Structure 1
Amino acid sequence: MRESATNKSMAYQFTDLPLKTLIGPLARAEDLLARLDERVAKSPVREGFVERCHFADAAAALWLDGELVHVEDLVLHDVHMDIRTPTHELTRAHAVLRSRRRILSHPPAWALSSVGILALRGREGQGGYGLSAGRAGSEPAAATAAAGADDDAGESLAEGTDQEDALAEELAEIDAVLARSSRLLAGENFAPRVADSPDVDTAGQGARSRDAASLDSLGPLIRDLDWDEDQRLADWLAVVDELGGENMPAVLAAAIAWDAWQDIEPLQHQHWLGNLLVAALLRERGKVASHLFCLNAGLRVIPRERRKSGVRTTRLLAVLDAFAEAASAGLKQLDRLALAKGQMERRLRNRRKNSSLPALIELVLARPVVSAGLIATELKISQRAALGLVAELAIREVTGRGRYRAWGFV
């Protein structure tokens, strides 16, 4: 029998925090996050900033796991313009990218609801496992809000669905077939599990469902059977609920939630999801409402000895510094985009009023990478005219090849 919500919260205690030690870094992080959120909300380059945050944070998530994924490779993979065969690490980074987009496309409370967590884990329709007592009562409201968001954001999600990573799906299917074949050759009886049908508005959900089925088929080879993910996740959500009841500052609550995730370790194969949920907590609390915060990018600049320290105070100071570093980097990225916008707009002098160059500038700022076909489609011009506009704008070519080229600055 599962423990009660009161006993669950005992999995992680935060009653004896050294506030005198934390108050300085906390104030700095609170100030920088508030400043970043205000600037992003009012920035004319907000769309481009948000897209670049998705890619940078996804690459940083893999870096924290010890894998190197170049942001430019991830950008080209996302638009199906790979210059080499995608690696397993690149496919994982793309899964992080899709999850970030999905969280931001829903209401702030969706990601931390049981509906949202099951969806992000690729387990829709499998019941409300891992739901804490505090969130059980609000589940119908969260499901209704998520359904409303799906209706409102149908068009924006349709584009993501059209760009779903077909290669990742094929590789996942091959992995599942190999796993079943290996077990059959070993003489085991195996009945393949039918994965839940993916939602039509979910980019990459089919691939994640097949990945989950493949992992389940391998069983003890890659999973610890004593690792109760649902119970651990319920313990973590109980901590999050208790943080909300304490009326704690949003950044400090997010820092404690991050440390609790590292301590409880709910998921065996999606540990990176914890950082996204912490960023979603900041969004739910209204601290960073204009975008999904890049916590992975901030943790990347913090030494591993501090992030993995055996002393909780050291870990909390490390994550507070990560919040501040990520916010500071975000402010610099906004300045960089604004400067690039000003430099490109100088080329509009003495241009005719019906020129397509201003529209191209907006497109380049909004998208990390653009191709001749994309420019021609968006601006309703020929591909030859698109190549001419790119030459006038003098933006960097990122594929390094003569055909099927793409341009932009990441």
Structure 2
Amino acid sequence: MLDPALEGLFLALAKAEDTVSRLDARAQTCSFAEGWAARVDFIEASGWGWVSGEIVDLEDLVLHDAQMDARLPDQALRATYGLVRARHRARRAGPELQSSAGALWLAGYRGEPPSVAPAPLEAAEPGSAPGEARDLAGELVHQLRALSRGETDDSGEAVEEWMLWVRRLPDRAPALLRAAVALEGWRLVNPLPRQSYVGAVIVAHALRQSGRTRACLLGVEAARRALPQPRRGFLAPTLVRLAYWLQVLSLGAEAGLAEMTRLDLARQVVLKRIGGRRAHDRSRDLLDLLLARPLVSAPMAAEHLGVADHSARRLLTGLGASLMEVSGRSRYRAWRL
């Protein structure tokens, strides 16, 4: 009979494999995949801010990204927007991002991206206990415990240590299980406390580089907001912690699927409403902007369409009930699909 913690780990792995595969397959055929991915970036940043105690409105993040801030950006907004910038960079980067220089570039400590991919390492041979071979889960737990004893005060050295350690994880472990181990390892080392999101972005990028995901950059931070920590928090047993990270990946994929389905339904409703309009009408272009942004203001729509603000507001209100005004104020109003 399996140990309950081990059984829970592999049940969480099976669910994560299913949901991540369905999300990636759906993203490959989605006509507005880029807009959906941009939405996930902002949702992830908002979720990380909530977990880290930097509460920032989603509207402020979107306006800051468009350089149309309604107020002077504060430290919390700049820190949270760092995750949006990091995900933008990771989506365009290649294998050179899987290095300490790449991690520091994502964190904003380097002005130029790395240009050379790290040299491949040979996978470490599985360790063995006296008289018996260590199983996969036991080996991963052993490597995590070894990593927790190798912390350093220098951020660059700590990132490099984590990178080398991740590249030595056994190849026979499923990709998502390796991702969960890498996320837990990042938590143990904590090389960039003020940019703790970097580890999750690098792990998601590694999954994409390896081909486990092809059309999406998995999100972690928003799911961490919705999923409570294990009963004993950071002191929970290692297998429970790994199951927690797999549940985070699964929940993030489920949320991505739900958001894609909701956007597709709203898109079909709006297209049906504007289907009979004249050919020069800009409503379809406005719909593309609404699909690409979680929130849209009248100045943003006016700049995107090249029309006056009052014309943009008229087009926004003309899209019907599928468009919701979410700011609740008379100035700097914002709408979402």
User: Per the shorter chain, which TM-score range?
Assistant: 0.7 to 0.9
**Counterpart residue type for residue 121 of structure 1:** A
Equivalent residue number for residue 119 of structure 2: 137
Distance, in Å, in 1 between the alignment partners of 2:227 and 2:15 is 16
Count of matched residue pairs: 299
Q: What 5-or-longer segments of structure 1 have no aligned partner?
A: 1-17, 140-225
**Counterpart residue type for residue 396 of structure 1:** M
1:290 aligns with 2:276: no
**Counterpart residue type for residue 26 of structure 2:** R
Q: CA deviation at 1:351?
A: 1.8
Q: CA deviation at 1:364?
A: 1.4
Kept in 1: contact 2:103–2:198 (CA 8 A): no
Q: CA deviation at 1:30?
A: 0.6
Equivalent residue number for residue 171 of structure 2: 246
Kept in 1: contact 2:49–2:56 (CA 8 A): yes
Kept in 1: contact 2:59–2:334 (CA 8 A): no
Equivalent residue number for residue 320 of structure 1: 246
Equivalent residue number for residue 325 of structure 2: 397
**Counterpart residue type for residue 20 of structure 2:** L
Distance, in Å, in 2 between the alignment partners of 1:376 and 1:70 is 22
Equivalent residue number for residue 74 of structure 2: 87
Do the aligned partners of residues 123 and 375 (structure 1) sit closer, same or farther apart at CA in structure 2, a change above 3 Å counting?
A: closer
Q: CA deviation at 1:60?
A: 1.1
Which moves more between the two structures, 373-382 or 387-396? 373-382
TM-score between both structures, scaled by the size of structure 1: 0.66
Do the aligned partners of residues 401 and 300 (structure 1) sit closer, same or farther apart at CA in structure 2, a change above 3 Å counting?
A: closer
Do the aligned partners of residues 309 and 283 (structure 1) sit closer, same or farther apart at CA in structure 2, a change above 3 Å counting?
A: farther
Determine helix, strand or coil for the equivalent of 1:44.
coil
Kept in 1: contact 2:98–2:202 (CA 8 A): yes
Do the aligned partners of residues 333 and 268 (structure 1) sit closer, same or farther apart at CA in structure 2, a change above 3 Å counting?
A: closer
Do the aligned partners of residues 94 and 116 (structure 1) sit closer, same or farther apart at CA in structure 2, a change above 3 Å counting?
A: same
**Counterpart residue type for residue 111 of structure 1:** L
Determine helix, strand or coil for the equivalent of 1:308.
helix
- 2:283 aligned residue (357, 365, 368): 357
Q: CA deviation at 1:312?
A: 0.4
Equivalent residue number for residue 117 of structure 1: 103
Distance, in Å, in 1 between the alignment partners of 2:191 and 2:275 is 56
Distance, in Å, in 1 between the alignment partners of 2:118 and 2:275 is 59
Distance, in Å, in 2 between the alignment partners of 1:60 and 1:127 is 26
Do the aligned partners of residues 84 and 399 (structure 1) sit closer, same or farther apart at CA in structure 2, a change above 3 Å counting?
A: farther
1:337 aligns with 2:282: no
Q: CA deviation at 1:67?
A: 3.1
Q: CA deviation at 1:24?
A: 1.5
- The residue correspondences of 1:21-170 to structure 2 (distance < 5 A) are 21-107=8-94, 109-124=95-110, 136-137=118-119
Kept in 1: contact 2:296–2:336 (CA 8 A): yes
Kept in 1: contact 2:230–2:244 (CA 8 A): no
TM-score between both structures, scaled by the size of structure 2: 0.79
Kept in 2: contact 1:72–1:398 (CA 8 A): no
Kept in 2: contact 1:83–1:399 (CA 8 A): no
**Counterpart residue type for residue 91 of structure 2:** L
Which moves more between the two structures, 332-341 or 374-383? 374-383
Kept in 2: contact 1:26–1:251 (CA 8 A): yes
Do the aligned partners of residues 43 and 127 (structure 1) sit closer, same or farther apart at CA in structure 2, a change above 3 Å counting?
A: closer
Q: What 5-or-longer segments of structure 2 have no aligned partner?
A: 122-151
Distance, in Å, in 2 between the alignment partners of 1:297 and 1:384 is 35
Q: CA deviation at 1:407?
A: 2.8
Determine helix, strand or coil for the equivalent of 2:235.
coil
Distance, in Å, in 1 between the alignment partners of 2:279 and 2:112 is 56
Distance, in Å, in 2 between the alignment partners of 1:308 and 1:71 is 28
**Counterpart residue type for residue 97 of structure 2:** A
Determine helix, strand or coil for the equivalent of 1:407.
strand
Do the aligned partners of residues 367 and 301 (structure 1) sit closer, same or farther apart at CA in structure 2, a change above 3 Å counting?
A: closer
Kept in 2: contact 1:103–1:110 (CA 8 A): no
Distance, in Å, in 1 between the alignment partners of 2:118 and 2:67 is 40
Distance, in Å, in 1 between the alignment partners of 2:246 and 2:190 is 20
- The residue correspondences of 1:238-317 to structure 2 (distance < 5 A) are 238-243=164-169, 245-306=170-231, 308-317=234-243
Distance, in Å, in 1 between the alignment partners of 2:57 and 2:332 is 20
Equivalent residue number for residue 235 of structure 1: 161
